[in-house]
Amino acid sequence: MVKNPAVAKAMRDLGFLTEVGEDDPNVQFRVRAYYRAADTIASLPEDVADIYRKNGIKGLLEVPSVGKNIAAKIEEYIKTGKVRAFEELKAKIPIDIDELYGIEGVGPKTIKILYDKLQVKNLADLEKAAREGKLRAVPGFTEKKERDMLKRIEFFKRGKGRRIIGEVYPLVKQIEKGLLQVAGVKNAITAGSVRRMKETIGDIDYLVASSDPEPVMDFFTKMPEVQEVVGRGPAKAFVRLASGIDADLLVVPEESWGAALQYFTGSKEHSVELRKIAIAKGLRLNEWGVFKGEKRVAGATEEEVYRALGLQWIPPEMRENAGEIELARQGIVPKLVEYGSLKGDLQVHSENSDGTATIEEMARGAKEFGLDYVAITDHTKSLAVAGGLDEQELLQQAEKIAELNDRLKGFRVLASAEVNIMKDGSLDIANNVLDKLDIVGAAIHSHFNLPIEAQTERLTKAARNPSVDILFHPTGRLINKRAGYPVDIERVIEVANETGTVLEIDAHYDRLDLKDEYIRMAVKKGVKLVIDSDAHHPIHYAFLIFGVAQARRGWATQADILNTLTADRLLEALK
Ligand code: DGT
Ligand code: CA
Ligand code: CA
Ligand code: ZN
């Protein structure tokens, strides 16, 4: 059966080629609809193919962001594995979307020009054209832009082959569930970089405990998601999934579960250190257990493996050999912020700017998700592409929110905004208006190529603004796509500390901004953080898990994360 990631990709690709291939000036609306549908489908808990099987087109139309045109395309894709409109466009413009789409600054318009002028179809063509100095002759390009392009291609190549965790997570969990249901299986878990919740994933590693590997191996190699069985042994298998990612499987007996889990979770660097410790203690550590001579002294649980090495258990997210082993030796591993401990979400968009649901729908969705409050942070006026609000609209929105709060029981909506930081670090909304809101976030959305000094000055000036409570997605990166603007993050953290400004961990899986290393810097300095979903639709609250994971990778505890507080306590804690 067709899985959601494949349907989402089909819609995204169709949107992309439509934008490249059609001259209709209103094409943007259709294109955005395709992208929106793709985003929704990618994070939908139920497969659209299942929805279609049960309720046909009518069922598809109930999926948020899916209208008639898109429902028909989804139906076509489910039935035939193809979309005719896409195939026709592809015949006209035979480009490698996956490669070219990934390069920052290469949008549909650029691709069209590059294809028309230089017959650039893929990354290799683009790189060749840039190296041969042909790019600078294309309208809109310069020598500098040609050089920048080469740098971006390098950046893209480095991340290539690694998938963003949020894009593969639903699939990962679905297969894990399947493994748990196989006869004789005592335990099943996703290990490797997924268990460590790294922001990008090379391949997926499944570990299963069972005394009878055969049915597990059969299930794993014959799942509908499998495109090719690359290798199969008695208790190990290696497959390529249809979505283009590889998956490993290891089946072990229950008594080795802990040791195998430790081994297969990694990281390799972390495990190499553990082995050294074992050797120094006259022990031997491998995936079957901890051994003293021929005798197994530990192996059934991870706790007992770590204990045998004289260490406290270490949460998977910390296992990167970045100092965590020393903490474990001293018994002072921090108690990390827990999944599910967030009480509120402080970056949430509504349809009043670029979201796709009303404030009330966003509030009810958050409540259903288990949150107690959200801040509605629509964009502000200088961000016209996102439908930014002006002063008057913000104040009107705050009034509507007050009325809504009277109606909502056991839930609170905070009036807020994602205020746009201008080129000079000033804001596009006056302070006397911002001060009427409950909480204010500020973010950079333009002028990404200013030099590092100017960019740092811009952010620190915003942090010094007494009305600004939070800096949203502070470095502006998009994982695998955009490196983020140059900024002296240490300096930003210092100023956040001086001014009592909070820094955001944006949980959207494309951003995860701040990254783990910067979270650690902030935590060390005592700068407070919040974890936000950046939701544009209620299903996006599911992104919060990736933000909590990132916080844990940055060694943050509950006390470091302000939106683990109640709304009242949070508001008291702000500057
Ligand atoms: P990935 O797949 O690149 O996102 O990262 P991982 O960490 O999932 O790496 P992977 O899939 O190559 O291997 C899974 C785990 O298996 C890894 O975290 C630790 C363990 N492992 C793999 N190769 C070695 C090795 O050569 N030595 C040791 N000690 N452990 C290894
Ligand atoms: Ca892996
Ligand atoms: Ca692997
Ligand atoms: Zn934003």
573: helix, strand or coil: helix
Residue with tokens 């639709």: 537
Q: Per-residue pLDDT averaged across 60-68, rounded?
A: 91
Q: Answer yes or no: do 142 and 28 share one domain.
A: yes
CA of 248 to the centre of ligand 3 (A): 5
At 335, the amino acid letter reads K
Ligand 1 touching residue 264 (CB < 6 A): yes
Q: Which atom of ligand 1 is nearest to the CA of 198?
A: 4
**pLDDT value at position 379?**
96
Q: What is the DSSP letter of 337?
A: P
Tens digits of per-residue pLDDT, 301-320? 999 999 999 999 999 999 99
- Distances in whole angstroms, Cα of residue 443 to Cα of each of 80, 195, 529: 44, 31, 15
C-alpha 428 to ligand 4 mean position (Å): 14
**Domain match, 228 and 273 both:** no
Is residue 406 included in any domain, yes or no? yes
Q: Which strands sit side by side in the sheet containing 502-506, from one edge to the other?
A: 418-420, 441-443, 470-471, 502-506, 529-532
Do 446 and 463 lie in a common domain? yes
Cβ contact 440:467 at 8 Å: yes
| Contact call for residues 417 and 380 (beta carbons, < 8 A) | yes
| Strand, coil or helix: 88 | helix
The answer as to whether 338 is a domain residue is no
Under the banding of pLDDT at 50, 70 and 90, the label for residue 159 is low
**Residue whose CA is closest, atom 28 of ligand 1?**
268
- pLDDT tens digits, one per residue of 463-508: 999 999 999 999 999 887 778 899 999 999 999 999 999 999 999 9
In total, how many domains does the chain have?
Answer: 4
Q: Which whole number is the average pLDDT over 413-441?
A: 98
Q: Summarize pLDDT for 544-559 with one digit per residue, the tens.
A: 999 999 999 999 999 9
The predicted-structure confidence for 335-389, as pLDDT tens digits, reads as follows 999 999 999 999 999 999 988 899 999 999 999 999 999 999 999 999 887 889 9
User: What's the 1 CA to ligand 2 centre distance in angstroms?
Assistant: 25
Alpha carbon of 486 to ligand 4 centroid (Å): 17
Domain boundaries, position 265: 259-333
On whether the CB atoms of residues 532 and 474 are closer than 8 A, the answer is: no
- Ligand 1 near 378 CB (within 6 A): no
> What is the pLDDT at residue 65?
85
Distance CA 492, CA 443 (A): 13
Considering the domain architecture, whether residues 523 and 428 belong to the same structural domain is answered as: yes
The verdict on 348 and 315 lying in the same domain is no
Q: What is the pLDDT of residues 114-126, one digit of tens each?
A: 998 999 999 999 9
Give pLDDT tens digits for 235-276.
999 999 988 899 999 999 999 999 999 999 999 999 999 999
266 lines ligand 1 (CB under 6 A): yes
Q: CATH number of the domain at 266, please.
A: 3.30.210.10
Residue 379 inside a domain? The answer is yes
Examine the domain organization and report whether 402 and 535 are in the same domain. yes
Residue nearest ligand 1's atom 22 by CA: 268
**CB atoms < 10 A from the CB of 144, how many?**
9
Instruction: Determine, yes or no, domain membership for 65.
Output: yes
Ligand number, closest to the Cα atom of 421: 4
Q: What spacing in Å lies between the alpha carbon of 189 and ligand 2's midpoint?
A: 13
Q: Residue 192: nearest ligand to its CA?
A: 1
The pTM assigned to this predicted structure is 0.84
Check: CB of residue 529 under 8 Å from CB of residue 562.
Answer: yes
Return the residue matching tokens 């208006």. 433
- Give the end of a domain, one of 129, 159, 189: 159
User: What is the number of the ligand closest to the CA of 275?
Assistant: 1
Q: Are residues 483 and 370 in the same domain?
A: yes
Among candidate residues 126, 159, 192, the one where a domain is terminated: 159
- Burial of 393 by CB count in 10 Å (0-12 exposed, 13-18 middle, 19+ buried)? middle
